[in-house]
Amino acid sequence: MSEYGLLIDYEYCTNCHSCEVACEETHDFPPEARGIRVFEDGPFEYADGKWNWNYVPVPSDRCDLCARRVMNHQQPACVHHCLAQVMQFGRIDDLVEEFKKKPRQVLWMPN
């Protein structure tokens, strides 16, 4: 047995919403109480002309990492459908190694 989680490279999250709608479809969750939501930071401009505009998908308390799917050897619905391919499902220990490789990522370990 190992702890599993999601590694999200938010440098490339485009707010396409596919994770949210894939989650609603897979679990029959209503939009207001789905298993993942994309949060927005920005947009705002720094004095040097650079823009801060990030989207970060955050699993909700009801995210079970698509237990039924993964036990059936399928990726979680959000990971499978992410248009920008910024999400990875895996063992926390493995994801930590990936996490070290580049900045602008977040690592989630849901309930």
Which residues make up the interface to another protein (CB under 8 A)? 1-5, 11-12, 14-18, 20-22, 24-25, 31-32, 42-45, 51-53, 55, 64-65, 67, 70-71, 73-75, 80-85, 89, 91, 109-111
Min dist CB 27 to another protein, Å, is 12
Q: What DSSP line would sit under 26-91, residue for residue?
A: HHT--GGG-SEEEEEEEEEE-TTS-EEEEEEEEE-TT---SHHHHHTT---HHHHH-TT--EEEEE
CB of 9 to another protein, least distance (A): 9
Q: Coil, helix or strand for 104? A: coil
Residue closer to another protein by CB (options 18, 99) is 18
